[in-house]
């Protein structure tokens, strides 16, 4: 969609906010932003893997808007795609902060992209990515993912080091706040990152929802991870329960990457430190 051809990122952001502020002016800005994220996440998810309950939520969500408002949501998504295009970078988090709708009680202060980039460059230089010389992929855990800014910065490092994130990375992200988790889902999906995003609590290990990105499904990551775990003696090579529910039939198309074990990224301290 040539909605904003030739515009600078600043002009695109202004255009996003202009369209956003025109939508359902009688509703609270938080509700409109949340609904935009739900619609975008569901469209991306159900394009790759239909989920009836999510489709119902999609229909119910649009039901609260006039026709011209419903037509504005895809325009916002088109601008988001353009804003994300130059590099993996958190766009939704800063927009959310700028709209002043973040929950301070839940610690929703998203890390500025420049800082996430700096941390990723310091933590994931060539040395920490060395295992990719022999392992088919690495996995990373983000227990307080917010909009996914830190994972996007890691994706940037991987690309700069010559790795294809869709093949060499699998991310597990958790956020207790559904809107934050779905923002993460949208941005990782648009950057084609194989990932599992959990709406849940990293401290109590409560899981409320599990969302797999299109790259997870299309890359048969359920099978890849099961095989990795089986080779490491942690499983029986059958998909985990969440996978069984949603994964496509992989019996005809088992991926053919070599059988070297993968490598879980461990930051100094504990794996769970990434993100807090
Ligand atoms: C300071 S933000 C950081 C987000 C992201 N890592 C970043 O750097 O932009 C902390 C995030 O943790 C989430 N959070 C707080 N407590 C949590 C918990 N117990 N389990 C999972 N997420 C949690 C909040 O909803 C919020 O999105």
CA distance 41 to 35: 10
CA distance 72 to 245: 33
Could you give the strand order of the β-sheet that contains 138-142, starting from the edge strand earlier in sequence? 206-212, 195-201, 169-175, 138-142, 263-264
Where do the structural domains in the chain lie, given as residue ranges? 9-86, 113-273
In a 3-state reduction of DSSP, which class is residue 275? coil
Pairing of strands 169-175, 195-201: parallel
Closest atom of ligand 1 to 174 CA is: 21
| pLDDT category of residue 70 using cuts at 50, 70 and 90 | very high
- Please work out whether the CB of residue 201 comes within 6 Å of at least one atom of ligand 1: yes
Q: What would the mean pLDDT of 50-75 be, rounded to a whole number?
A: 96
Read off the pLDDT of residues 226-273 as tens digits, 9 standing for 90 and up.
999 998 886 655 544 444 333 333 333 333 333 333 444 433 222 323
Host H or E run for residue 217: helix 214-218
CA distance 197 to 174: 6
CA distance 60 to 51: 14
Closest atom of ligand 1 to 180 CA is: 27
Read off the pLDDT of residues 97-134 as tens digits, 9 standing for 90 and up.
888 876 666 667 788 899 999 998 888 877 777 888 88
Q: How far is the CA of 209 from the centre of ligand 1 (A)?
A: 16
Q: What would the mean pLDDT of 82-101 be, rounded to a whole number?
A: 92
Read off the pLDDT of residues 191-221 as tens digits, 9 standing for 90 and up.
999 999 999 999 999 999 999 999 999 999 9
| pLDDT category of residue 173 using cuts at 50, 70 and 90 | very high
CA distance 142 to 207: 15
Out of 54-68, 147-161, 250-264, which region has the weakest mean confidence (pLDDT)?
A: 250-264
- Please work out whether the CB of residue 96 comes within 6 Å of at least one atom of ligand 1: no
- Higher-confidence residue: 264 or 73? 73
Q: What would the mean pLDDT of 126-151 be, rounded to a whole number?
A: 90
């Amino acid at each position: 969609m040539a909605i904003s051809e030739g515009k600078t990122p600043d002009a695109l952001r202004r255009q996003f906010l202009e369209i956003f502020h025109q939508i359902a002016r009688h509703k609270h800005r938080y509700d409109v932003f949340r609904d935009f994220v739900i619609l975008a996440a569901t469209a991306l998810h159900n394009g790759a893997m239909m989920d009836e309950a999510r489709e119902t939520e999609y229909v119910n969500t649009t039901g609260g808007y006039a026709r011209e408002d419903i037509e504005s949501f895809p325009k916002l998504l088109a601008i988001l795609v353009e804003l994300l295009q130059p590099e993996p970078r958190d766009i939704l988090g800063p927009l959310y902060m700028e709209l002043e709708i973040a929950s301070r009680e839940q610690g929703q202060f998203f890390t500025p992209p420049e800082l996430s980039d700096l941390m990723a460059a310091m933590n994931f230089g060539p040395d920490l990515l060395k295992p990719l010389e022999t392992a088919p992929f690495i996995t990373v855990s983000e227990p307080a993912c917010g909009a996914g800014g830190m994972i996007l910065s890691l994706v940037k490092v991987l690309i700069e080091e010559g790795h294809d994130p869709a093949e060499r990375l699998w991310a597990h992200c958790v956020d207790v706040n559904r809107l934050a988790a779905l923002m993460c889902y949208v941005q990782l999906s648009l950057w084609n990152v194989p990932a599992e995003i959990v709406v849940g609590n990293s401290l109590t290990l409560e899981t409320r929802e599990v969302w797999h990105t299109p790259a997870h499904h299309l890359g048969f990551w359920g099978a890849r991870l099961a095989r990795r775990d089986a080779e490491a003696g942690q499983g029986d090579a059958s998909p985990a329960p969440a996978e069984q529910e949603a994964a496509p039939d992989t019996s005809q198309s088992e991926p053919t990457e070599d059988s070297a074990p993968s490598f879980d990224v461990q930051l100094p301290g504990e794996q769970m430190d990434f993100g807090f």
